[in-house]
Structure 1
Amino acid sequence: MSLDAVIIGGGHNGLVCAYYLAAAGRKVRVLERRSVVGGAAVTEEFHPGFRNSVASYTVSLLNPKIIKDMQLHDFGLEIRERRVNNFWPHPSDDFLAFPVGNEALETEIARFSEHDARALDRYFRDIEMVADLVRSQLLETPPNAGGGLRDLWQAIKLGNRFRKLSLEDERTVMDIFTKSVREFLDLYFENEFVKGAFAFDGVVGNYADSETPGTAYVLMHHAFGEVNGKEGVWGHAVGGMGAITQAMAKSAKAKGAEISTDAAVARVLTENGRAVGVELEDGEKIFAKKIISNLNPSLLFDRMVPEEDMPEDFSRRIKRYKNGSGTFRMNVALDKLPEFKCLSQERATDDHLTGGIIIAPTMDYMDRALRGAKDYGWSREPIVEMLIPSTLDDSLAPEGKHVASLFCQQFKPDHDWVRDRMNAAATIIDTVEKYAPGFRKSIVGMQILSPLDLEEKFGLVGGDIMHGHLSLDQMFSARPMLGHGNYRTPIEGLYMCGSGTHPGGGVTGAPGHNAAHEILKD
């Protein structure tokens, strides 16, 4: 039977797209290069008896409508909430924690600044106001530049949402979309540790320092999620992130989607300027009415689409699409829990080890990390976020043992990682050791993924976890390029459904959802 759609790449957005197309009665086939679907949201055994989320590592941004539509909980998904969201060890052996609940957080921040504790309500009110605007657009296609009446109507609807804001709220929206995270936080807080804690979300997955314009938006991008109906909460998928994509695959298959693994696509086939199929690396050709790419736009257009099939201006600009998030990922198998010096205090509990443990106490620390990366390839004091998911999920490690994710920032994307990946990994372990003596001795196995490894294993170009910078010129209607923000490419019959389209990176499922609805319109 002829196919209505072929989807290149079985990452989470490809699976979401496949579900909605199949649910609408279309014949869909997903082609995944690796032997397992899930893209960067997969769980693997990386040391005998120890499993962990390999790349993507935590849950919050996954859209609740998609969870409900795909009935992911019925297909085995269970999400457990962190009991403390994050904490930041300090060199003085003190720490700043972000406990769950505004009252507890206010009490914690008051230890560092009464002024900043009083400013929390205004800060969260402003962040949530802008996050609500973004949420209202997550599952809608942006108005496309150069589009017709439908896009004009979308622009009018968006404009009406903004016209309902007060002048001060309009200023706040402008602040978040244009300012650096340092400038934005200076409007609310005075203490460097408090500002450093909030600023982390502005540089995570973002090869930038705290003074880079647009980093305030990256901070807000991480704030629009929810877990189990609770906004601003982060959680863990039992069984790791692969549990999400395995549930998605089951859901899509239940609607009739076909999923093929070990099916690497070599190129997109075109006839008379229209995409008509794909050719696999083994030479097999598969034809369909619609070809849909879940890949980073750079991978699609640099490697799979003949340049002569692209308009000259599009080709020139897509070659300069910006990638590279400076991310270095490690998974470690531990024979015991880390013992952080700062958690010897009376106010510390076991709950702190269920949250993100972030070694980056101030914005100055983060900025030095970026300078070190640009000068030497990586900083001798990198930004490290550790998660220990086995504190919430004992299925990941043998009894009494643990696994930890090390999600590390500011590692130069185009550095010689073949030569230096082990040296960089040693620096990361040394950094954790300073705050948790004995950590190195507790490691019984590890998996190391430099930016180069992330690209080769998962197709994350330059190790970019977002499939492209979240900068003003690559957001909303301009993601991946102005004029093609509606999931369509300049090649008829070829579409995009990955994180290189609106609303961007993270395990949201929104690009796959939106692309499917545009494809069904066509």
Structure 2
Amino acid sequence: MGGGQDDALIIGGGHNGLTCAWYLARAGLKVRILERRSVVGGAAVTEEFHPGFRNSTASYTVSLLQAKVIADMRLHDWGLRVVHRPISNFLPFDDRNYLKLGGSLERTQAEVAKYSAKDAETLPAYYDALERIADVLRDLALKTPPNAGGGVQDLIRAATQGWGLRKLGLEAQRDLLDLFAKSARTFLDGWFESDEIKAAFGFDAVVGNYASPDTPGSAYVLLHHVFGEVNGVKGAWGHAIGGMGAITQAMRQACQAAGVEIMTDAPVAKVLVDNGKTVGVALEDGTELFARRVVANVGPKLLYGKLVDEADLPPDFARRMRMFKAGSGTFRMNVALSELPRFTCLPEPGEHLASGIVIAPTLDYMDQAFTDARAFGWSKRPIVEMLIPSTLDDTLAPKGAHVASLFCQQFAPVLPDGRSWEAEREAAADTIIDTVEAFAPGFKASVVGRLSLSPFDLEERFGLAGGDIMHGAMSIDQLWAARPVLGHGAYAGPIQNLWMCGAGTHPGGGVTGAPGHNCAREIIRSL
């Protein structure tokens, strides 16, 4: 510590990079963040996309952000305020039928009973089964996975972390195995009989997941999305006043108060390695910066496929990084609206417009969307989740107008037949608008401005390989101690003094802060 050299250079000022930087600075290290864009926040930023209209650009809703990170960084003191959605989700099925989830168990049961009395009775047991497992996995989120082939410390980690799973009863262990191994459809078929209820829960299995609900392992992605909490309420979803950028701007202020230096417009071109040790980075303008360690908040695909010279990597590690799966099939839109949409099945304004509005009426619809994307490049009828945050936050749009976030699946990371996303972007966006229009006539006419981000755009703008919002597929071969690869699950890269703090490490994607928190702890332990 001390002197002119930094103790840590952090590549990428996304929320995990900011979190890691703060914990390191609090421990007395000299830390510098290098952010390629002109603003920190990574994919969690709020930007104006049409005159007078602001919205979260990529990530768009709050639930998974760790309460410990919020408390330690005192984010509320730096202006963060998160409000609850009145209900979690609203699914329009056709011109008359819909389903609302959330508000309370009793309210959800009453909604589910419209389609199946048996499923309404089953609902508490289903929630309890997921919650038992989620509690154990929540506990693992802020723990460092063991490194396969490591020493005594890693054996202790494996034993203690496995103990939580062993404490689950036999029924819960069976459920856990089902979630890791089965498709979302097979898992939900074991619980429910109604297609509508299966669609409501199956949607979470394809969020940020370029896969069908029939893909083995897709049930785990469903579970990943119930880990969260808002203001102490487990499983709740909320909105950060001012958009997702409010989170990262609060983190920026916390970091600067702790002494972290932040450089924007500072894109890293290469990680510098000398005699088998990481010694710093080279920026795209040729500037070289040196530090005792480099911490990467970019995904494994970008880090090891572009920023690190393959000759500096162990051959088997390099081969496995080439095989690392990334690409979430996500297309992201923001639209400026002159008025609120009117859904045919529920036309008047109400709490449903402040929830997650999910257009994915059946599991078959979701499967067909994936099939279309693989064959044509994008879904003819996409899966769309629409949020209208201006119903909860009047800072985002002019009075009387609104903004909507459209998070859409399935869109191929690379289009077939040599077609480019630059050429096809607006046609795909038109398909998304038309999909919403079919359920809410007049929606298209209310759109006065829009921002369209294809998987290619998400990669170009935010460095998300294949547009992957999770920094890598959340499949069983890329989770826990195997994220990003066995032997390097404890945040240390294969080159000495190279660390990883992004969503490509445990516990994975979402705006959590957990990878940044955990990586900082391991760096501090290494001192």
Partner of 2:6: 3
What secondary structure sits across from 1:83 in the alignment? coil
**Structure 2 letter corresponding to 1:185:** L
Match of 1:304 among 304, 307, 311: 307
Task: Give the superposition deviation at 1:349.
Answer: 5.5
What secondary structure sits across from 1:396 in the alignment? coil
Comparing 171-180 with 383-392, which one deviates more in the overlay? Answer: 171-180
For 2:167 and 2:467, locate their aligned partners in 1 and report how far apart those are by CA, in whole Å: 40
**Structure 2 letter corresponding to 1:125:** D
Task: Report whether the alignment pairs 1:483 with 2:502.
Answer: no
Contact persistence 2:95–2:439 (CA under 8 A): no
Matches within 5 A, 1:88-107: 88-107=91-110
Match of 1:224 among 210, 223, 227: 227
For 1:441 and 1:336, locate their aligned partners in 2 and report how far apart those are by CA, in whole Å: 10
Matches within 5 A, 1:214-253: 214-253=217-256
Partner of 1:148: 151
Task: Give the superposition deviation at 1:159.
Answer: 2.6
Partner of 2:407: 407
Partner of 1:424: 428
For 1:69 and 1:521, locate their aligned partners in 2 and report how far apart those are by CA, in whole Å: 18
Task: Report whether the alignment pairs 1:331 with 2:334.
Answer: yes
Match of 1:497 among 495, 501, 504: 501
For 1:387 and 1:436, locate their aligned partners in 2 and report how far apart those are by CA, in whole Å: 14
Partner of 2:174: 171
Task: Report whether the alignment pairs 1:362 with 2:362.
Answer: yes
Task: Give the superposition deviation at 1:165.
Answer: 2.1
**Structure 2 letter corresponding to 1:64:** A
Which consecutive unaligned segments of at least 5 residues does structure 2 have?
Answer: none
Partner of 1:193: 196
**Structure 2 letter corresponding to 1:451:** P
Task: Give the superposition deviation at 1:342.
Answer: 1.1
**Structure 1 letter corresponding to 2:505:** T
Match of 1:444 among 442, 448, 455: 448
**Structure 1 letter corresponding to 2:426:** M
Contact persistence 2:378–2:412 (CA under 8 A): yes
Task: Report whether the alignment pairs 1:49 with 2:52.
Answer: yes
Matches within 5 A, 1:11-410: 11-344=14-347, 350-410=350-410
The alignment of Structure 1 onto Structure 2 pairs a total of residues equal to: 519
For 1:480 and 1:335, locate their aligned partners in 2 and report how far apart those are by CA, in whole Å: 44
Partner of 1:453: 457
Comparing 92-101 with 235-244, which one deviates more in the overlay? Answer: 92-101
For 1:445 and 1:349, locate their aligned partners in 2 and report how far apart those are by CA, in whole Å: 22
What secondary structure sits across from 2:323 in the alignment? coil
Contact persistence 2:342–2:349 (CA under 8 A): no
Task: Give the superposition deviation at 1:69.
Answer: 0.3
Aligned identity (percent) is 61
Q: Deviations over 1:22-76 (max 9, x none)?
A: 0001000000000000000000000000000000000000000000000000000
**Structure 2 letter corresponding to 1:197:** A
What secondary structure sits across from 2:395 in the alignment? helix
Cα RMSD between the aligned structures?
0.8
For 1:462 and 1:93, locate their aligned partners in 2 and report how far apart those are by CA, in whole Å: 38
Task: Give the superposition deviation at 1:207.
Answer: 0.6
**Structure 1 letter corresponding to 2:414:** D
Match of 1:507 among 494, 506, 511: 511
What secondary structure sits across from 2:385 in the alignment? strand
Contact persistence 2:211–2:370 (CA under 8 A): yes
**Structure 2 letter corresponding to 1:305:** V
What secondary structure sits across from 1:403 in the alignment? strand
**Structure 2 letter corresponding to 1:361:** P
Which consecutive unaligned segments of at least 5 residues does structure 1 have?
Answer: none
Contact persistence 2:144–2:518 (CA under 8 A): yes
Task: Give the superposition deviation at 1:170.
Answer: 1.2
For 2:373 and 2:96, locate their aligned partners in 1 and report how far apart those are by CA, in whole Å: 26
Task: Give the superposition deviation at 1:99.
Answer: 2.9
Q: Deviations over 1:251-280 (max 9, x none)?
A: 111111111100111101111010000011
For 2:385 and 2:165, locate their aligned partners in 1 and report how far apart those are by CA, in whole Å: 36
Task: Give the superposition deviation at 1:169.
Answer: 1.5
Match of 2:439 among 396, 412, 435: 435
User: Which aligned segments of 4 or more residues in structure 1 are displaced greater than 4 angstroms?
Assistant: none
What secondary structure sits across from 1:498 in the alignment? coil
For 1:327 and 1:203, locate their aligned partners in 2 and report how far apart those are by CA, in whole Å: 10
For 1:449 and 1:213, locate their aligned partners in 2 and report how far apart those are by CA, in whole Å: 28
For 1:455 and 1:209, locate their aligned partners in 2 and report how far apart those are by CA, in whole Å: 22
